[in-house]
Amino acid sequence: MTKAAELAKMGEVLTNSQIGGRRNIVINGGMNVAQRSSSAVTGIGASDGYFTCDRWNFNTNGNSAGRLTMSQASDGPSGFANCLKLECTTADTSIAAAERFFIEQKLEGQDVQQLKKGTSDAEKITISFYVKGHDSATYTVGLYEGTSGRKIAATFPVTTSWVRQTVTFDGDTSGVIPDNNTAQLHLRFYLHAGSNYTSGTLGTSWNADGNTTQISSDGNSFFESTSATFFLTGVQLEVGSQATPFEHRSYGEELALCQRYCIDLNPASGGQSTSPYLMLGSVYNSTLVIANVSLPHEMRVAPTLILTGDAGNFSVVEVASVRPCTGFGVNGMASSGGGINWTCAGGGMTGGNAALIYVETNLRCIMDSEL
């Protein structure tokens, strides 16, 4: 082979193989983006939710008495500035059969078509991540596919030092993933489970055996003591059998990817809002302002408007008057933006005037279209 042919071949390999192009299917694997809260959120455990690092969901069922604090921590292995940190604040050593919690990222079907799942060409999938904890422990990492209910899992160790763990799963020739914008592939880190999920032999090959093979019975429970901690960062899910180096993306790139699912309209810094004038509207009548918000990115679906305070924490600025809001509602909201109505029950506004919606305190105003 000539030198030119060798270089051409090398280029072909770089372009078409696992090491070419964007590799990491996971969003915010480096835990750099935390629009909802970059500080600790306490008392987590009673219900599901997205609390700190974007895209990472806390999922629970079975009503464990265990509680934890979640935060975006300035910690990580060399090259990582942030991680997702869990601290157990209430232990639960009496684990009922139905209890389970895991940290999860849900991926849209249209974003995982390259896995060729459900075909004879199904690709191997490699998951890599950095973890550490307060002590040596074993947990389960797994994939769950929403349409067929098929799943696969493996155990991984945690020590008191940052260690990169790697798991490679075979491709799955069953269970085609629909090409759509719904939750299809779920990457899960199981940290607490009762016998409903652990009584079978862990399903380390793709299966649809039901819940009992989902989580290893040899694993630890994160809720076993109030000294328990779990740190996670550098999460990567990629096509192929090799774990390539973590794909660091710029903060701007990662934020843009996250904003398909969550947009903070009222970012804050140091406890103060940096953009208290949220949106511009028009006074419709003496008690109602119709405002419009154009979102910086097309979101997954029409988003929910979430206020961490009540409407009374928001004001309408009309000419020189400032009036407290008493209600709100999205109206004609689409994935690219739409209308938000603000009510001032006290009245006194003049139809046709321009109006600004203003928030004076450090309240979050979130557009949410998460999976």
Partner 1 sequence: MNIASAKYYKDIRTEENCSINIVVETKQMSVPIDPANRHYQAILEWIAEGNTIEEAD
Q: Which residues sit at the interface with partner 1, rule CB under 8 A? A: 46-49, 181-182, 284-285, 288, 300-311, 327-333, 340-341, 368-371
Residue 2: CA count within 13 A, CB half-sphere = 3
- How far apart (Å, rounded) are the C-alpha atoms in residues 323 and 310? 14
Kindly state the helix (H) or strand (E) to which residue 6 belongs, with its residue range.
helix 3-16
Is the CA virtual torsion 345, 347, 349, 351 positive or negative? positive
Least Å distance, CB 184 to partner 1, is 13
- 187 closest CA partner among 59, 38, 47, 88: 59
The residue (of 121 and 310) whose beta carbon lies closer to partner 1 is 310
Least Å distance, CB 95 to partner 1, is 22
The residue (of 163 and 302) whose beta carbon lies closer to partner 1 is 302
Q: Which alpha helices (H) appear in 88-233, and where do they start and end?
A: 195-198
The residue (of 44 and 112) whose beta carbon lies closer to partner 1 is 44
The residue (of 153 and 258) whose beta carbon lies closer to partner 1 is 258
State how beta strands 100-108 and 67-73 pair. unpaired
Least Å distance, CB 342 to partner 1, is 11
The residue (of 125 and 344) whose beta carbon lies closer to partner 1 is 344
Q: Which alpha helices (H) appear in 241-313, and where do they start and end?
A: 251-258
Q: Are 239 and 128 within 8 A, CB to CB?
A: no
The residue (of 245 and 347) whose beta carbon lies closer to partner 1 is 347
Least Å distance, CB 294 to partner 1, is 16
Least Å distance, CB 212 to partner 1, is 24
- How far apart (Å, rounded) are the C-alpha atoms in residues 62 and 95? 9
Q: Which two tokens stand for residue 332?
A: 């004609």
Least Å distance, CB 314 to partner 1, is 10
